[in-house]
Amino acid sequence: MISEEAIGKYIRAGNVARETLELSKKLVKPEASVFDVVTELEEFIKSKGCELAFPVNLSIDNAAAHDTADIMDGRTIHEDAVVKVDVGVHVDGYIADSAITIDLSNRYNDMVKAAEEALEEALKLFTPERKVVEISRTIQEVIESHGFKPVVNLTGHKLERYVLHGNVSIPNVEYDIPYELKEGDVFAVEPFVTNGSGKVKEGGEAKIFAFLKKVRCRGDVARKILEFGEGRKGLPFSLRWMFEEKKPSVVLALRELVNSNALYDYRVLKDVEGSIVTQAEHSVVVGDKPLVYTK
């Protein structure tokens, strides 16, 4: 079971996540700086007395997830961009994870609606003893009824205290996962819709990282990164939270830590070039009446 105190913290985090996504609708516009949008959203979360569960994701067009502003990022949002804004907020380790798609082109409204409708139908099913496979089947059927493909290798995920990706996934296609939901379970549910291949691959360098284990470091920069990551209690982080310039020493230290498996690197996930991906996401507590606390 889940305590009333925990529920209160989830709800507080969820309220701030919702407000942050509302703010993103004003900030995401043609010519806007990716760095400025991401940092303003992150500062807004902190101004509300909450913490970042992960760096704000701003994934554009065929990029589905794990993209954020890099150190000294000079990118801008183009006029026809399809932008996924994914935010993670936590209060004392209790995480709210929520996302929307902003279609600046107004050409992919059907894909945006497909993700939103799949999410709405799935959220109704988060009741005790429900099998995960039933939820996945619903998501897949709704997306395919709109004439699009679900992304087969991106999933929703269980949320636990200071754990963003718990040990139970909610696939967006029908897999025979035997797990049955339990009252008080908490999940982030996130249908991804594409007009591309239906499968994302890693592309480009990582901008988001998470601590895995302590190792002996050769330099001060590597030690600083590792200590910062460990202080995150397993939650992902960005190097721009520590450094204003991408100096060679930072690049070399990062390579050392990733190669030694001290850090996990979240590489940007993309469908094929020229395709579009849309996303919708809410967080929910399992119950006879599911509590969608990011709405």
The pLDDT tens digits for 161-187 are: 999 999 999 999 999 888 999 999 999
Catalytic site includes residue 281: yes
Q: What is the pLDDT of residue 176?
A: 87
As given in the structure block, the two tokens for residue 161 are 């205290």
**Domains along the chain?**
4-203+272-292 (3.90.230.10), 208-266 (1.10.10.10)
Q: What is the pLDDT of residue 124?
A: 98
Q: What is the pLDDT of residue 24?
A: 98
C-alpha–C-alpha distance, residues 170 and 162, integer Å: 19
The low-confidence residues of the chain, meaning pLDDT below 70, are none
- In the set 97, 116, 117, 256, the catalytic residue is 97
- In the set 51, 86, 116, 117, the catalytic residue is 86
Pairing type for strands 263-266 and 169-171 reads: unpaired
- In the set 165, 174, 230, 265, the catalytic residue is 165
As given in the structure block, the two tokens for residue 179 are 């797990």
8 CB contacts (<8 Å, ≥6 apart)?
A: none
- In the set 66, 90, 157, 282, the catalytic residue is 157
C-alpha–C-alpha distance, residues 111 and 175, integer Å: 23
Return the sign of the alpha-carbon dihedral for residues 282, 284, 289, 295: negative
Q: What is the pLDDT of residue 204?
A: 79
Q: What is the pLDDT of residue 218?
A: 85
Q: What is the pLDDT of residue 143?
A: 98
C-alpha–C-alpha distance, residues 289 and 213, integer Å: 39
Catalytic site includes residue 165: yes
pTM (2 d.p.):
0.96
C-alpha–C-alpha distance, residues 55 and 178, integer Å: 32
CA-based nearest residue to 103, from 94, 95, 112? 112
Q: What is the pLDDT of residue 223?
A: 96
